[in-house]
Structures are given as structure tokens and as C-alpha cells.
Chain A
């Protein structure tokens, strides 16, 4: 489990995260939702240690991440997988090399073992036979799936996804959501997904943390997100004409 206790983050004078308290549960898909600029990405970057919060604690199974030595941080990072918004695949490498990269750097497996694992991960994300393609030759959805394959290559305990559906059509978004959900339950991973996709919210959100202007505006799950009386959350969820119409009809 990952827990945030009174986490605040400043950029100069501006406070981007304001004493956030929330937790992300093991073996579940945990969503961070909120409008653009609300502080979701900063929160995610604090979680993975790319940014250091000025106040508060980030606890990985009860241990404060910010008090870890650099060696301990490096060790826990080997247990993390991350899917970036733009996939962040290494464009000078083939898909096979991309997925094999963390295995090359972090394990002592033989080439055959690594290749077997790469093929397993690519098969798991429906990218069989794409081993020798370069990222530039893939569609947006395929890049995201390749990034998921790379993220799960080392059997991570924690999977972080930063807006995995951005720039994808609704059908592909759904496939990516299903894949993240299945992988989380199949391998018992603590998954944290940063999104503003309403479809993801109501399909895979086993816990949902709603961030509003740097504060934790609401916490719940997919079953009670649509019937909350939180004004800011409702403004966010029912912002689109389609969702407003569905609410009016029901």
C-alpha cells in the first residue's frame, strides 16, 4: 500500500499540492482524477520520486520514501513500472529492445530467459510479432501497450500510469483500461492511474482520489462516484453534454 500523509508541494511561491492525505491500495486500480492543472501529475511525480514534496510523507508499506537512502530509492524503483503520457519508449531501440531494457539493466538473466519474458509481456499486451518494429512505426495505442509491456517486464509491485488514455480513441482507451485492470489483478500490483477520462473512472476506479486545486476534494470508488454530493466532483464528472444527458435521463 502507498499512503500520502499531509503532502504539500510548492513551485516557488505557488503551492501546487495542499496537504494531501490519501492511500492507494494493493492489488487494486487506484485512480487520481481531476481537471488539467489540478496537481495530478505533480502528485504522481512525487509518488515516484521525480519530485520531492516540501512537507508530508509518502509511505511505501509504512516506510517514508523521502527518508530512503539513494540506494534504497534505487532498489524500490526497480519494483516500480511506469507508463508515461507519451509512452516514453526509447526511439533508437526496437520494441523488443525497449521491453528487454529493464531486464538488461536490472537482472542477471540469460538472453534466452529475457527473450522469453519479452515475448510473454508482448503477448500479454497483444503486441506479438512486433518485436522488430521501432516506436515510430507504431500507432498511439500500440505505443501505450508497448510501454505497459516494458513497465511489467520486471514484475513490478507498483505500476504508475500517467494519463494512459490521452490521445486515444474511445475503443482503444477501453482496451487500455481493460489491460491495466487485468494486469493489476493478475499480478497483484498496486496500480496508480492518473486520468481525466470519465470512462476509466466508472469502469476501473476501485479507489478514486479527486484532486481539486491542489486539495483532495473527494475520495471514493466507481460505485459511489456518480452519486456524490460533492459539487466540484459533479462539475468534473458531468462536464460533458453526453454525461449530463445520461444523468438527466437516469
Chain B
């Protein structure tokens, strides 16, 4: 068991070594990068916005119910919602959502190319398939996912604001006051660092599971599940580690 785990870790780093070799043709790399960024970003934008609005709304309602006391300042609701959404909920929950959405797409795409010998075809042509197929996906994820998280934060706060207006759990002015109080630039650095690391894990682990498939359609399904489970697990553990280090 431990040996198998260590072998897997070794295989993963060897795979990364192949991925981060010089692209065969730069123009082809940039063309694929633009394609990947567009499909990752635009393809996930709607679901990310909907989930973010719902999340912002729920966290506002829940928090408002917990802090009904005359001793707690009115701006606390907005402040707590902003802190929860910016520091934890959006970076972690939205990344986990993207693991299911983007991660499974990456594993399926690369895995089906492996099963149908398209990866072998690239190798026979003298092209490094790991670099050609995976590097644009990783770079695209590193650029796109932090942008999606920033958009998600914006929409989650909008969701909270709309909830305040509709349900009157607080006044919109006090909620806005809370949202804008005690803001530290370091929080944004923390969020972007975290999401960039998560994006790397999501894209590289999903690609790794797709790339190492041996067999047919059944293996593709298993690789998909394993990719999602392992990426999610690593992201949650790293979340704990990064939070402990940076805060």
C-alpha cells in the first residue's frame, strides 16, 4: 500500500517533468492555450456565478440568524459574510465545484485520447504528448481559475446584498458598510495564492489520471472518479496547510 502510494507520487513527478519540457512549437502552444482558457473560463462561468450567488445568499441568511443581538454592531453581518466568502467559501467550494466540472473534463479528454491511441500517435510523430496536451491545460487553469474565483466572490457578495434587500435581515447601508470595513490587501494575496495552488493541483492531477490510463472505457470511468477524489482530497489538505502558514 505504502509502496504503491510512493510509486504513484514518483510517477506523478516524472509526469510533471515531461509536461514542463519545452513545447515542440510555441505558436501551437499559444493557440492551444487560448482554446483552453476560453473553454475553461467561458464554459464554467455560468455555473460558477449561479453557485456563488446562492452561496452568498445562504451565508447571509444563516449569519443574520446567528447574530440577532443588540450588543453586536449592525455592520457585523456584512463583515462576516465578506470574510467567509472571500477567505474560505469561494476559494475552496468553487474550486471543488471546478474539480467536478473541469477536472473530470480534463481526465476524460486525455483518457479517451489514451484509450483510442491518439497519445501513442503523437509520440510516434516525435511530439512529447505530455507537454503538447497537458501544459496548455495547466497554464490555462493557472490563469483562468483565480479569475473565476474573483468573479465568484463578486457574485457571492451581490447574492448577499440582494438577500439583505429582499429579506430585510439588515439594512443595505449597514450591510455595505460591513462589506467594506477592515479590508486588508493581504487577504487578496492569500486568496490568489491559494487558488493558484488549487488550480495547479486540479489541472495536473486530473491530467495525470487521464494520461496513465491502461485499458478501455471502464478504466476511463475509474480514472475520472479517482482524479476527482484525489484532487479534492489534496486541495482540502493543502487548504489547511496554506491557511496555517499564511494566516
Does any Cβ of B come within 8 Å of A86's Cβ? yes
Does any Cβ of B come within 8 Å of A80's Cβ? yes
Does any Cβ of B come within 8 Å of A249's Cβ? no
Of the residues B116, B117, B120, B127, contact of A105 by C-beta under 8 Å: B127
Chain A residues whose C-beta falls within 8 Å of the C-beta of B113 in the assembled complex: 90
Chain B residues whose C-beta falls within 8 Å of the C-beta of A75 in the assembled complex: 126
Q: How far is the CA of A86 from the CA of B120 in the complex (A)?
A: 12
Chain B residues whose C-beta falls within 8 Å of the C-beta of A91 in the assembled complex: 116, 118
Chain A residues whose C-beta falls within 8 Å of the C-beta of B25 in the assembled complex: 104-105
Of the residues B116, B120, B121, B126, contact of A74 by C-beta under 8 Å: B126
Chain B residues whose C-beta falls within 8 Å of the C-beta of A101 in the assembled complex: 125
Chain A residues whose C-beta falls within 8 Å of the C-beta of B121 in the assembled complex: 82, 84, 88, 90
Q: How far is the CA of A106 from the CA of B135 in the complex (A)?
A: 19
Does any Cβ of A come within 8 Å of B217's Cβ? no
Of the residues B24, B28, B120, contact of A84 by C-beta under 8 Å: B120
Q: How far is the CA of A85 from the CA of B120 in the complex (A)?
A: 12
Residue among B24, B118, B120, B125 with most chain A CB within 10 A: B125
Beta-carbon contact of B28 and A77 below 8 Å: no
Of the residues A73, A82, A89, A105, contact of B24 by C-beta under 8 Å: A105
Q: How far is the CA of A85 from the CA of B117 in the complex (A)?
A: 9
Q: How far is the CA of A38 from the CA of B127 in the complex (A)?
A: 29
- Closest Cβ of chain B: how far from A166's Cβ, in Å? 13
- Interface members, chain B 187-237 (any A CB < 8 Å): none
Q: How far is the CA of A76 from the CA of B126 in the complex (A)?
A: 8
Instruction: State the interface size on chain A (CB cutoff 8 A).
Output: 24
Chain A residues whose C-beta falls within 8 Å of the C-beta of B125 in the assembled complex: 77-78, 80, 82, 101-102, 105-106
Does any Cβ of A come within 8 Å of B240's Cβ? no
Beta-carbon contact of A86 and B116 below 8 Å: yes
What's the dominant secondary structure at chain A's contact region?
mixed
Of the residues B117, B126, B127, contact of A88 by C-beta under 8 Å: B117
Does any Cβ of A come within 8 Å of B11's Cβ? no
- Interface members, chain A 141-190 (any B CB < 8 Å): 160
- Interface members, chain B 14-52 (any A CB < 8 Å): 24-25, 28
Q: How far is the CA of A76 from the CA of B125 in the complex (A)?
A: 9
- Closest Cβ of chain A: how far from B238's Cβ, in Å? 32
- Closest Cβ of chain A: how far from B44's Cβ, in Å? 19
Of the residues A80, A89, A104, contact of B124 by C-beta under 8 Å: A80
Does any Cβ of B come within 8 Å of A48's Cβ? yes
- Interface members, chain A 182-213 (any B CB < 8 Å): none
Q: How far is the CA of A89 from the CA of B116 in the complex (A)?
A: 9
* Nearest-neighbor residue (CB-CB) of B128 within chain A: A74
- Closest Cβ of chain B: how far from A61's Cβ, in Å? 17
A77-B117 contact, Cβ under 8 Å, with A105-B24, A105-B28: no
Q: How far is the CA of A74 from the CA of B123 in the complex (A)?
A: 9
* Nearest-neighbor residue (CB-CB) of B109 within chain A: A92
Does any Cβ of B come within 8 Å of A242's Cβ? no
Q: How far is the CA of A73 from the CA of B125 in the complex (A)?
A: 10
Does any Cβ of B come within 8 Å of A50's Cβ? yes
- Closest Cβ of chain A: how far from B84's Cβ, in Å? 40
Contact flags B119-147 to A (C-beta < 8 A → 1, else 0): 01101111100000000000000000000
Beta-carbon contact of A82 and B127 below 8 Å: no
Chain A residues whose C-beta falls within 8 Å of the C-beta of B127 in the assembled complex: 105-106
- Closest Cβ of chain A: how far from B116's Cβ, in Å? 6
- Closest Cβ of chain B: how far from A159's Cβ, in Å? 11
- Closest Cβ of chain A: how far from B100's Cβ, in Å? 22
Beta-carbon contact of B123 and A88 below 8 Å: no
Beta-carbon contact of B124 and A48 below 8 Å: yes
Q: How far is the CA of A179 from the CA of B126 in the complex (A)?
A: 25
Q: How far is the CA of A84 from the CA of B125 in the complex (A)?
A: 12
Q: How far is the CA of A49 from the CA of B123 in the complex (A)?
A: 9
Chain A residues whose C-beta falls within 8 Å of the C-beta of B126 in the assembled complex: 73-78, 80, 106
Residue among A77, A78, A105 with most chain B CB within 10 A: A105
Beta-carbon contact of B123 and A50 below 8 Å: yes
Q: Which 6 A-B pairs have the closest CB atoms?
A: A77-B126, A88-B117, A88-B121, A82-B124, A78-B126, A74-B126
Binding site for B on A (CB under 8 A): 48-50, 73-78, 80, 82, 84-86, 88-91, 101-102, 104-106, 160
Cross-chain pairs A/B with CB under 8 angstroms, 9 sampled: A48-B124, A49-B123, A77-B126, A84-B120, A84-B121, A86-B117, A88-B120, A91-B116, A106-B127
